[in-house]
Amino acid sequence: MNIRDLELIDRLAAEYVVGTMSSRARRRFAALMRDDLRLRRAVHDWEHRLAGLNAGQELMMPPASSWHAIEAAIDAFEGNPVTSPQVASRWLKSALAASLALIVAVAALLYFPERGDRFDAPVYTSALAGSDGAVTFVVDAFDDSSTVRIRDLNVSPPGDGLIYQLWAVPPGGAAPQSLGLLGDGQVSRLELSESQYDALINATVLAISIEPAGGSPTGAPTGPIPFSGSLVGS
């Protein structure tokens, strides 16, 4: 490695930390960083150099509900019983369903180990539950391959001539984006386009609708949405 390489690493790390990289460049850089200690060190150095910029900013308090939502998510992650129904993310109709869904998601991850998962851990997970709180699908997203894996926990088929379709629901009430159609098997894999992957990593909720075979004709969910779940970064 010569001095020009070192300079390039330092410059890219600075751009990554300052935040001026495009979405695509950020993702590529983050993927490279995972396997390269020099990049990680360069990034940490720049984070340390620039963090003091935050010191002069106004302080802002979030609503108290933010703590409750965090606590509920951690309760669910740790497998603790949820004691209060008001602690949920507002994205889900049922707080209990969401929390149970996460508990079962963790259980499901243990229950359905797949060869190679230890080296290719999902970066986002969502356990989709029905209105009764029972988890129906576990969706895992993998950061560097733009692949989504959907595991069907013995869900009834959607009906003759119908199909399940997976949607990424962005925050702020914007329109859901389709991530694809689910296959018949117990495990489906979807290869996402760049725009679909962007939609996924920015979603707060994943949802599954029932659509005619071939998928929604309009680009938006047209049928019932029996299953949904929070998307949790791992």
- Provide the binding-site residues for other proteins, judged by CB under 8 A: 10-11, 14, 17-23, 26, 44, 47-63, 66-67, 69-70, 73-74, 77-78, 89, 91, 170-172, 174, 198-199, 201-202, 204, 232-234
* Minimum distance, C-beta of residue 153 to other proteins, in the bound complex (Å): 23
* Minimum distance, C-beta of residue 50 to other proteins, in the bound complex (Å): 6
Q: How many other β-carbons are positioned within 10 Å of the β-carbon of residue 58?
A: 4
Q: Backbone phi, then psi, for 60, in 5-degree steps?
A: -135, 130
* Minimum distance, C-beta of residue 208 to other proteins, in the bound complex (Å): 21
Structure-block tokens of residue 234: 């791992």
Q: How many other β-carbons are positioned within 10 Å of the β-carbon of residue 198?
A: 17
* Minimum distance, C-beta of residue 161 to other proteins, in the bound complex (Å): 34
SS3 sequence, 145-194? CCEEEEEECCCCCCCCCEEEEEEEECHHHCCCEEEEECCCCCEEEEECCH
Nearer to other proteins, 19 or 217 (CB): 19
Nearer to other proteins, 172 or 217 (CB): 172
* Minimum distance, C-beta of residue 205 to other proteins, in the bound complex (Å): 10
How many residues does the structure list for the chain?
234
Of 29, 7, 34, nearest to 16 by C-alpha is 29
Amino acid symbol at 38: R
Task: Give the Å distances, CA to CA, from 187 to 112, 148, 155, 183, 190.
Answer: 10, 10, 12, 8, 10
Nearer to other proteins, 157 or 233 (CB): 233
Nearer to other proteins, 94 or 202 (CB): 202
* Minimum distance, C-beta of residue 168 to other proteins, in the bound complex (Å): 10
Nearer to other proteins, 23 or 186 (CB): 23
The H or E element that residue 206 is part of is strand 205-212
Nearer to other proteins, 158 or 176 (CB): 176
